[in-house]
Amino acid sequence: MSELTALTLAEARDGLKKKSFSAAELTAAHLAAIEQARALNAYVLETPEQAADMAKASDARLAKGEGGPLEGLPIAIKDMFCTQDVRSTACSHILGEFTPPYESTVSGNLWRDGAVMLGKTNCDEFAMGSSNETSYFGPVISPWRRRGSNTPLTPGGSSGGAATAVAANLCLAATGTDTGGSIRQPAAFTGTVGIKPTYGRCSRWGIIAFASSLDQAGPFARTVRDAAILLRSMAGPDAKDTTCVDMPVPDYEVAVGKSVKGLRIGIPKEYRVDGMPAEIDELWQKGQEWLKAAGAELVEVSLPHTKLALPAYYIVAPAEASSNLARYDGVRYGLRVEGRDITGMYEATRAAGFGKEVRRRVMIGTYVLSAGYYDAYYLRAQKVRTLIKRDFEQAFASGIHAMLTPATPSAAFGLGEKGGDPVEMYLNDVFTVTVNMAGLPGISVPAGLDAQGLPLGLQLIGRPFDEETLFSLGEVIEQAAGRFTPDRWW
């Protein structure tokens, strides 16, 4: 039954409709695969009983010819999403065994459409990281290995568990969150497709907050079409999140396969960064040729404030994080460590509950927001953010439909390889943070392998709320590059 786990989401959907197999069989195959892949540490919580119950209910609906667009399809949920009666921790010790009495809007939308929950996936603590190494539950091991080597590699982060679960066939697709690249970077590292939609496209309600003005949910999948199918269900208006737009959700799947003839694609010259490996540049060139061959027109564009995006992001994101994480005080959620008095209890709880990277962000954030430094850091970073957004607006106003860039400055690195200097880790986000700062949609599509046999991705950046063009262009890259799957060793 293992071949059931290798199906795409679209194939599984069509197979269920044709009654080639049941949702119960499809789910059982995935649960068995998850059990055999525990060495990868992709899931921090498996929910086999819930999965079996949901699959049974799906089969009953399918038998009557009913069911939603995701009926019976097994999906994994990043541990940043609150799931009702199922432990939700953001992979932080401070949330302990926190079990929310409510469901996040996005995961709720998936269950409304018939999806089956397999479990919660591992991620960096509060989604702060690029390698999944800050998780309280330990790192995720990538299903990919360098040719001829057993060195354990990172699947990227923060959604490392989601990316791994999709790449290793431990679910048909998964949800992720992206604040500075946490969907697109792990997608690029694992040969999967990941899209961060426009800010406001998916509700943030019930997603554990990292940096509220940047956080956005999105799908991981093995094909562009599958990502389009999942995003359609995830997205949509929600009165519970005032930043979530009240706009109908297009049928994104229709955009897959649509001609890209005549689209003007911007190539931002500032993304040619110093020290970028030649193979990344070559991949970028290839991507340009593929789009050109499909009838798109390539135009060099300038986004002059690009180099300020990373430093500005590492002020804005920690500032918002320090404020969002103030709620973890030992009173309401998860962990409590007793102290001499209530202040002592707060301090002891936070010291024991937060990991090193989270503490670093809280301290940076508190510092940049403090009286005397606010104007010099936070306010200035916000102004830079406006300039970054304006760069994109000007390029789009000149008739550019989307932009093509590399997704990451390198392929996946080894676990522990970037442990020392936090800035070294932050540099991973150079190509992705601009998109969050500007609130735009960005998709990462697998585009090739590096010299060591590891996947590399290309990023397409779109106009606000024009995810459809990204799916059309993404499919052109997918058709040209092919799909990439790791050899099973686990």
User: What residues make contact with ligand GLN under the rule CB under 6 A?
Assistant: 127-130, 158, 178-182, 210, 317, 429
Task: Provide the terminal-to-terminal Cα distance of the chain, rounded to the nearest Å.
Answer: 18
User: Taking the complex as a whole, how short is the minimal distance between the CB of residue 375 and ligand GLN, in angstroms?
Assistant: 23
User: Taking the complex as a whole, how short is the minimal distance between the CB of residue 321 and ligand GLN, in angstroms?
Assistant: 8
Closest CA to 335 of 93, 86, 122, 135: 93
d(CA 490, CA 75): 21
**Widest pairwise Cα distance in the chain:** 70
Q: Of 22 and 132, which has the nearer Cβ to ligand GLN?
A: 132
User: Taking the complex as a whole, how short is the minimal distance between the CB of residue 6 and ligand GLN, in angstroms?
Assistant: 29
User: Taking the complex as a whole, how short is the minimal distance between the CB of residue 429 and ligand GLN, in angstroms?
Assistant: 5
Closest CA to 186 of 162, 217, 150: 162
Q: Of 129 and 457, which has the nearer Cβ to ligand GLN?
A: 129
Q: Of 47 and 158, which has the nearer Cβ to ligand GLN?
A: 158
Active site residues: 78, 158, 182
Q: Of 58 and 107, which has the nearer Cβ to ligand GLN?
A: 107
User: Taking the complex as a whole, how short is the minimal distance between the CB of residue 181 and ligand GLN, in angstroms?
Assistant: 5
Q: Of 27 and 131, which has the nearer Cβ to ligand GLN?
A: 131
Q: Of 81 and 210, which has the nearer Cβ to ligand GLN?
A: 210
d(CA 459, CA 444): 4
User: Taking the complex as a whole, how short is the minimal distance between the CB of residue 315 and ligand GLN, in angstroms?
Assistant: 12
